[in-house]
Chains A and B, each alone.
Chain A
Amino acid sequence: MEVAAAKALGAGIAVIALAGVGIGIGNIFASLVASIARNPSARDQVFGLGILGFALTEAVALFALLIAFLILFT
Chain B
Amino acid sequence: MAAEGKAIDALGQFTLNTALGPLGASVNFSQANMLMVVGGVLTLALLYFGMRPRAVVPGRLQALAEISYKFVHDMCVDQIGDEGKRYFPFVFTIFFFVLMGNLIGLFPFQFTYTSHIAVTGALAAMVVVVTTVVALKIHGLHFFAYFFPDGAPKALAPLIIPIEVISYLSRLVSLSVRLFANMVAGHVMLKVFASFIVMLGAAGVLGQIIAVGPVVLTVGLVGFELLVAFLQAYVFAILTCIYLHDAVHLH
Smallest distance from the beta carbon of B151 to chain A beta carbons, Å? 27
Chain B interface, >50% SS class: helix
Beta-carbon contacts under 8 Å, A20-74 to B:
51-52, 55-56, 58-59, 62-63, 65-66, 69, 72-74
Say whether, besides A51-B231, A55-B231, A73 and B8 are in contact (CB < 8 Å): yes
Say whether, besides A52-B235, A52-B238, A59 and B1 are in contact (CB < 8 Å): no
A-B pair count, CB < 8 Å, reads 43
**How far is it, in angstroms, between the C-alpha of A51 and the C-alpha of B75 when the chains are bound?**
14
A contact residues around B231 at 8 Å (CB)? 51, 55
Flag whether A4 is at the interface (Cβ < 8 A).
yes
CB-CB contacts of B117-138 with A at 8 A, as 1s and 0s? Answer: 0000000000000000000000
Which of A58, A66, A72 contacts B1 (CB under 8 A)?
Answer: A72
Chain A interface, >50% SS class: helix
Task: Please determine whether B1 and A65 come into contact, CB atoms closer than 8 angstroms.
Answer: no
A contact residues around B10 at 8 Å (CB)? 69, 72-73
Task: Please determine whether B1 and A63 come into contact, CB atoms closer than 8 angstroms.
Answer: no
Q: Which residue of A lies closest to B238 (CB)?
A: A52
Q: Which residue of B lies closest to A66 (CB)?
A: B181
Which of A4, A63, A74 contacts B181 (CB under 8 A)?
Answer: A63
Chain B contact residues, CB within 8 Å of chain A: 1-3, 8, 10-11, 174, 177-178, 181-182, 184-185, 188-189, 231-232, 234-235, 238
A-B contact pairs, 25 of them (CB 8 A): A4-B2, A4-B3, A51-B231, A51-B234, A52-B238, A55-B232, A55-B235, A58-B182, A59-B174, A59-B178, A59-B181, A59-B182, A62-B178, A62-B181, A63-B177, A63-B181, A65-B189, A66-B181, A66-B184, A66-B185, A69-B11, A69-B184, A69-B185, A73-B188, A74-B11
Chain A contact residues, CB within 8 Å of chain B: 4, 51-52, 55-56, 58-59, 62-63, 65-66, 69, 72-74
